[in-house]
Amino acid sequence: MNKHEIICTTDDDFAEVAAGILFEAFSKANNPLVSFPTGTTPQDTYKALVQKYEDCRDVWDNLRYLCLDDYAGLPETDERLFKNWLGRELLDPLGIKNRITFNSAATETQAEAQHIQSYLDQHGPVDIMILGLGSNGHLAFNEPGSDFDSATRLVDLTQSTIESNARYWGDDIRRVPRTGYTLGLGDIMKARKVFLLITGAGKADILDKTLNGEITKDIPASILQNHPNLTIIADKSALMKKEDPRYG
């Protein structure tokens, strides 16, 4: 197992600390290709990035945003699309114009996935990959059972992900699409730098399994144990098992 860095914040200053660390990484990189996650975890971090650093034009003009995952089969203007969610929360306020995204409305889904994979093959790897951790151990839409060398593809979402994502839409499960595009675990593992963001006691168990358990396809995030350049940024609640000596 590679040694990873764990940054433990208080439950209150997670967003502030995470924003500072990410901004420093963006500032030091040259025209970085960056993937951002959606979800509850990074929301306040994105607010902090906007509040504290929106004037840093040179950093934002220098950054290329690459979609991490997104729903398939929706009209391009649909508010549920992750690229539109990220647009509202982060990319528009920061004026990030360089965006490489899935075309959700594409009818040739395999060709659409290949289009993003080709971009990665030519212009990758991802320089700075920021990830959230699913309660079921997924990374992006790489659900349990995903191959560790998987590429960009269309996937069926698991019932647990569909149920979990309904909370963004008034708990209306009918509003959650059943398929999505995702970068594969193979390309996540090729990223030059990975930041994994985790908050809350509800994630303590899956974080512990991810970092200290068996590397298994049942918990896709467990493959990150083999990543050579991983930083975990987590609040105290998510790290409540940290006293365990296996955290090192």
123 is catalytic: no
In the set 16, 78, 98, 136, the catalytic residue is: 136
69 is catalytic: yes
Cα atoms found within 13 Å of the Cα of residue 29, Cβ hemisphere only: 21
115 is catalytic: no
Give the residue with the Cβ less far from ligand PGA, 60 or 139. 139
4 is catalytic: no
Residue listed under structure tokens 């089969």:
73
| Nearest alpha carbon to residue 189 among 235, 226, 141 | 226
Contact between residue 146 and residue 220 where contact means Cβ atoms under 8 Å apart: yes
Give the residue with the Cβ less far from ligand PGA, 26 or 82. 82
In the set 69, 127, 208, 235, the catalytic residue is: 69
In the set 143, 187, 208, 235, the catalytic residue is: 143
Q: From the CB of 135, what's the least distance to ligand PGA, in Å?
A: 7
Q: Give how far Cα 114 sits from Cα of 58, 128, 172, 224, Å.
A: 31, 21, 31, 24
Contact between residue 217 and residue 145 where contact means Cβ atoms under 8 Å apart: yes
Cα(33)–Cα(31) distance, rounded to whole angstroms? 7
In the set 112, 138, 142, 235, the catalytic residue is: 138
Contact between residue 6 and residue 247 where contact means Cβ atoms under 8 Å apart: yes
Q: Using CB under 6 A as the criterion, which residues of the chain lie in contact with ligand PGA when the complex forms?
A: 37, 39-41, 132-134
Chain residue whose CB lies nearest ligand PGA: 39
Q: From the CB of 134, what's the least distance to ligand PGA, in Å?
A: 4
Give the residue with the Cβ less far from ligand PGA, 41 or 101. 41
> What are the phi and psi torsion angles at 213 (to 5°)?
-90, -170
Q: From the CB of 11, what's the least distance to ligand PGA, in Å?
A: 15
Give the residue with the Cβ less far from ligand PGA, 60 or 224. 224
Catalytic residues: 69, 136, 138, 143
